[in-house]
Amino acid sequence: MPMFNKQNRKVFFIVFGLLTSAFTYGGKLSYPAAGNMELNEGTLEVWLTPMADELYPPDDGKYYNVFDVFRLSIPGEWTIQSVWYRHKRQIGLKISSHSRDSEFGGGGIMGSEPAPDWKKGEMHHIAYVWKGKTLWLYVDGELRGSKTYGKGFWGSLEKVDLIFGYRKDGSDGDSRIILNAIKLSMVAKDKEALKNTRPEPNLATLLLDRFDSSDGIQGEGVIPEISYTLQEPTIGKLSGEWEYVTEPTAGIAFYKR
């Protein structure tokens, strides 16, 4: 059962990063620690504010990675990632998977069309739910897609990477976001539980970080509000281009305005 103890903070390796131009990385927040995560089922929730000047680029036949939401991987085993993108007539959120194992790699979840009606500077809630072999994508409480793979998550959690705002290529577009809050739970939440949800703790919470104030930011260190682990506490480290902002929403902006 999770321990809601601010002295018990080290979870698993998490990196928050964002590219602020085509070939340079912005800021990142990393928790370099081995820890705990449920592979059989769970829910990853992200509250973010897109700050891209053009969320819906025109269709010119090219692929645009407008901004990245998250990347979760166990190196050498598998990777799943979610991006807001534009490719010809397709636009919106998608999840894609990559693995040498054909039962898991090569699949994707596309957000339903039309794309969510988002505007720059408005906060939104995204939830990624997994149980067994199935993964669901919810946007602002609405189911946007699902996919059942040949196998579920596997591998050693000692090497797990969770990255928000990650961008690895030099694709065009303004991929700025403000990260408002994250929450990781050990249970697979259903649609009812995700309606009008807020980043509040409960007995299933493994990790909770709310950036509605800068109280947890100490220099370049970040102290999670809630974490669960059986190991010694670790404080997250901020680096690169970042700043704490209060407008248009409160959070960590991984870019310099």
Peptide bond into 32 cis (omega under 30): no
Could you tell me the pLDDT band of residue 177, with boundaries at 50, 70 and 90? confident
Percent of the chain with pLDDT over 70: 72
Is the pLDDT reported for residue 27 higher than 90? no
Higher pLDDT, 164 or 61: 61
- How wide is the angle at C-alpha 106 spanned by C-alphas 56 and 133, nearest 5°? 105
Percent of the chain with pLDDT over 90: 22
What are residue 16's DSSP bridge partners?
Answer: 29, 164
Is the pLDDT reported for residue 190 higher than 90? yes
Give residue-wise pLDDT tens across range 39-77: 889 999 999 999 888 888 888 988 887 887 887 888 788
Residue ranges of domains in the chain, CATH in brackets: 14-253 (2.60.120.200)
Please answer whether residues 164 and 178 qualify as being in contact, where contact means their C-beta atoms are separated by less than 8 angstroms: no
pLDDT of residue 11: 35
| SS3 label, residue 22 | coil
Higher pLDDT, 9 or 118: 118
